[in-house]
Chains A and B, each alone.
Chain A
Amino acid sequence: MISKFNYVAPNNLRSALKFLSDKKTNSKILAGGTDIIPGFHIESKRFIDTELLIDIKKIPGLNEIKEKKDYVEIGACVTFSQITESDIIKQYFPLLAKAAETVGSVQIRNRATVVGNFVNNAPCADSVPPLLVYNAKIEIQSLTKKRQIDLQKFLIKPYTTALKKNEIVTKIIIPKPDPDLKGDFYKLGRRRAVAISRISLAVLMKKKNDLIDEIRIASGAVTPIGTRLYDLERFAKGKQANSETYKELAIQMGRLVLEITGLRWSSEYKLPVLQQTFYQLLERINSDEN
């Protein structure tokens, strides 16, 4: 048996927020539960003091993917299985669909949510690099306020986000990208299924007259949190879209990641793999485009 707590499943957001803002009770939101429930089991410090779990899956609307004119909304309870099966996601955000397929196993994907994947801000959250290159925003609600924030700004440092105790992330909002942006997602885990990622990368690129007109690069797992590599993007912009440039970018990428993470025991193994993977990713996107 796992440690004691109370459980409520309110059927509207307001009542969930009321539970959450009760200062006397140490409460936590429960969505997919694939992180929290085993967390209780192993008596993780992150969860052990929880007195109340607020299950938000009974709140109408939170489990929907909605297409609007210029953007798509993903509700807080949308699972990875829903993402992999959604035609809207496959059409506009193929990198996100691909990342979702690599998460856990069928059983995990049937429960785990995309929002839950990043509200804990674990470095290995696979959905983060794709969401970052698509410029995802999230909507956050408390009893008194509703706010939107860029996902990149929301993620502060490992296991720390901009979410306040009385707030719930209700949805992800992703603008439909320029159709000329082509890209790919890559994940390296220790084995194919149920693997925690070691390296993940998402890249979107647009070429114009053989030059890199726009490029968006995000990494996960190799950096302490999922992050856009804006310096590298600026460095790449306007350069010739050819192997020469891609090699140069891969070298720069290695330097940058080393700068961010410092030298670790694993650097010697990870960096060459990272550079090679990134190079291949760029070549692949390049040839897809032609």
Chain B
Amino acid sequence: MKTKNTSMIKLKFILNGKEIELETLPNKRLIDLLRNDLNLTGTKEGCSIGECGACTVIMNGKAVNSCLVLAGEINGSEIITIEGISNDGELHPLQENFLKYGAVQCGFCIPGMILSAYALLKKFPNPDEEQIKEAIAGNLCRCTGYKQIIEAIKNTKIS
């Protein structure tokens, strides 16, 4: 493989409500940018190929896999990570309910799971079970068996 020269790219975007401007390498993925450059390690990397959903974040209101988005692609967009949904240390109602319904075991899948649920509730505030299952079908959990997760989401009301 030939060595290639790469030039830095400039990005401007909104991250968890704050405007960010930075320069980075074009071959970084959004997950690399979040975890390594911005120290937001709540976003997890599982499979790296779009199958597990551990890296899910919200981009312009939609759930996306941050391992499938390049840094350059987020220019001008709005990103929300798990760090951005709690309010001054106060948990989001979804997070409260995940605790209340025992939906968390090892916790690795949970940031992604919560953000998929977050995107769902923004679109359908009262989803039925089918809609919930569909929304989290791209989020694998190897611990809980999903039942408690579905319960937690079903019982969350957000304004």
How many of chain B's residues have a CB under 8 angstroms from any CB in A?
38
Q: Which of B32, B50, B75, B137 has the largest count of A CB atoms less than 10 A from its CB?
A: B50
Asked if B70 and A38 sit within 8 Å, CB to CB, the answer is no
Whether B158 is near chain A, meaning CB under 8 Å from some CB there, is: no
A4 vs B70: C-alpha distance when bound (angstroms): 12
Whether B135 is near chain A, meaning CB under 8 Å from some CB there, is: yes
Whether B6 is near chain A, meaning CB under 8 Å from some CB there, is: yes
A261 vs B26: C-alpha distance when bound (angstroms): 42
Whether B27 is near chain A, meaning CB under 8 Å from some CB there, is: yes
Asked if A5 and B6 sit within 8 Å, CB to CB, the answer is yes
Asked if A1 and B63 sit within 8 Å, CB to CB, the answer is no
Whether B64 is near chain A, meaning CB under 8 Å from some CB there, is: yes
Asked if B27 and A38 sit within 8 Å, CB to CB, the answer is no
Chain A residues with CB under 8 A of B4: 4-6, 51
Asked if A1 and B28 sit within 8 Å, CB to CB, the answer is yes
Chain B residues with CB under 8 A of A33: 68-70, 73
Asked if A107 and B65 sit within 8 Å, CB to CB, the answer is yes
Of A38, A57, A110, A192, which one neighbours B67 at CB under 8 angstroms? A38
Instruction: Type the 1/0 row for B58-85, where 1 means its CB is closer than 8 Å to any CB of A.
Output: 0100111101111011010000000000
Chain B residues with CB under 8 A of A193: 137-138
Known pairs A4-B6, A37-B68 / 20 extra A-B pairs, C-beta < 8 Å? A1-B27, A1-B32, A4-B27, A6-B26, A7-B70, A9-B72, A30-B70, A33-B73, A38-B48, A38-B67, A40-B27, A41-B67, A48-B1, A49-B1, A105-B53, A107-B56, A107-B138, A108-B65, A192-B137, A194-B50
Whether B7 is near chain A, meaning CB under 8 Å from some CB there, is: yes
Chain B residues with CB under 8 A of A108: 50, 65, 68, 138
Chain A residues with CB under 8 A of B92: none
Give A1-15 interface residues, CB cut-off 8 Å to B: 1-7, 9
Of B9, B28, B75, B138, which one neighbours A105 at CB under 8 angstroms? B138
Given contacts A107-B64, A194-B51, contact A2 B29 (CB under 8 A): yes
Chain B residues with CB under 8 A of A192: 137
Give 28 pairs: A residue, B residue, CB < 8 Å, sorted on A: A1-B28, A2-B27, A4-B3, A5-B26, A6-B6, A7-B27, A9-B72, A9-B73, A30-B73, A33-B73, A37-B68, A37-B69, A42-B49, A49-B1, A49-B2, A55-B73, A106-B63, A106-B119, A106-B135, A106-B137, A107-B65, A107-B138, A108-B65, A108-B138, A193-B137, A194-B51, A194-B137, A194-B138
A-binding residues in B (CB < 8 A): 1-4, 6-7, 9, 25-29, 32, 48-51, 53, 56, 59, 62-65, 67-70, 72-73, 75, 116, 119, 134-135, 137-139
Whether A20 is near chain B, meaning CB under 8 Å from some CB there, is: no
Asked if A106 and B27 sit within 8 Å, CB to CB, the answer is no
How many of chain A's residues have a CB under 8 angstroms from any CB in B?
33
Asked if A38 and B49 sit within 8 Å, CB to CB, the answer is yes
Q: Which of A1, A4, A9, A42 has the largest count of B CB atoms less than 10 A from its CB?
A: A4
Asked if B1 and A7 sit within 8 Å, CB to CB, the answer is no
Whether A104 is near chain B, meaning CB under 8 Å from some CB there, is: yes
Asked if B6 and A107 sit within 8 Å, CB to CB, the answer is no
Chain B residues with CB under 8 A of A198: none
Chain A residues with CB under 8 A of B64: 107, 110-111
Asked if B50 and A107 sit within 8 Å, CB to CB, the answer is yes
Q: Which of B2, B26, B75 has the largest count of A CB atoms less than 10 A from its CB?
A: B26
Chain A residues with CB under 8 A of B135: 106
Give A186-201 interface residues, CB cut-off 8 Å to B: 192-194
Chain B residues with CB under 8 A of A40: 27
Chain B residues with CB under 8 A of A114: none
Whether A81 is near chain B, meaning CB under 8 Å from some CB there, is: yes
Whether A53 is near chain B, meaning CB under 8 Å from some CB there, is: yes
